[in-house]
Amino acid sequence: MTTVVPTEDVQLRFRGLRIHAQVCGEGEPLLLYSGVWGEVRLWERLLPHLAGFRTIAFDPPGIGRSQPPPYPLSMWSLAQMGTTVLDAFGIESAHVLGASFGGAVAQQMALSHPGRVRRLVLASTSFGGGAMPGNLEALWHFIHPRSYHPERLERVAGAMFGGRLRAEPQLVRSMHIRRPTDTLAALYRVAGLIGWTSLPWLWAIGQPTLILAGDDDPVTPLVNHRIMAALMPRARLHVAAGGGHLVLLDSAHQVGPVITRFLREG
């Protein structure tokens, strides 16, 4: 049973756009970057395992309750949004956790705004261009709009995300995974990845970094995480046995303590 953690909803502004944010807990600040379609509710399964930290999550532009942008936002703009969110709460620097697409944004923030990032957690992500692509069936389900219909999502969850969802696809019901119904908003959301790669400058990310991966991730293969851990000077890799692309959610009880131990080392 998932523990309900009290949260506070806040409305922010970024370049004139209304952005919905959510704050939870007390302690050192931890900024959360969600996956490509991830709303703040996506974090509900992980939050009980992040006790002792003040988490700040937000719906990216065009996702959830945040206003869609009039044009695609680059990875640099999305990273700057993180600094804007921190500024709104009077936070000079924070730990940063990015999952999947959000892991790419977190890498960009660590490079472009190094003074704002204390420790970095990258989960189920990659370095963009040049990375080993995922399983074709999983990627097809991932991008196909019909895959996110509640009944169909449960049927394809195992092939789409791997991990525990192969044996327990019903878990996806509580994960609040929804693709934008607005096709343009969906296209604008993924546009930031076009032409982006962190491979040439991974060596320049100097923050202590925890790289988290499931050993059954069909979207971002484990080899990409190994490459990142090898190229980043202060990175370590943790592989969750039986975890899939949604390792933060399908194995929250397993990876939550790993994350908090790493963050408290600083």
**Half-sphere exposure for 265 (CA within 13 Å, toward CB):** 13
100 a catalytic residue: yes
Q: pLDDT class for 5, splitting at 50, 70, 90?
A: low
- pLDDT reading at 175 higher than 70: yes
Q: Are the C-beta atoms of 228 and 122 separated by less than 8 Å? A: yes
Instruction: Quote the CA–CA distance of 67 and 81 in Å, as a whole number.
Output: 13
Q: Are the C-beta atoms of 138 and 166 separated by less than 8 Å? A: no
Longest Cα separation, the chain: 44
- pLDDT reading at 3 higher than 80: no
Lowest mean pLDDT among 57-61, 100-104, 148-152: 148-152
Q: Is the dihedral of CA 60, 33, 172, 194 positive or negative?
A: positive
pLDDT digits (tens, 9 = 90+) for 252-266: 999 999 999 999 997
- E strands along 167-248, which residues? 209-214, 235-240
pLDDT digits (tens, 9 = 90+) for 42-89: 999 999 999 999 999 999 998 889 999 999 999 999 999 999 999 999
Instruction: Quote the CA–CA distance of 30 and 187 in Å, as a whole number.
Output: 28
Catalytic residue among 100, 124, 126, 198: 100
* Residue type for position 103: G
* Residue type for position 58: F
Q: Quick one: which of 81, 249, 89 has its CA closest to 161?
A: 249
Q: pLDDT class for 119, splitting at 50, 70, 90?
A: very high
Q: Are the C-beta atoms of 67 and 13 separated by less than 8 Å? A: no
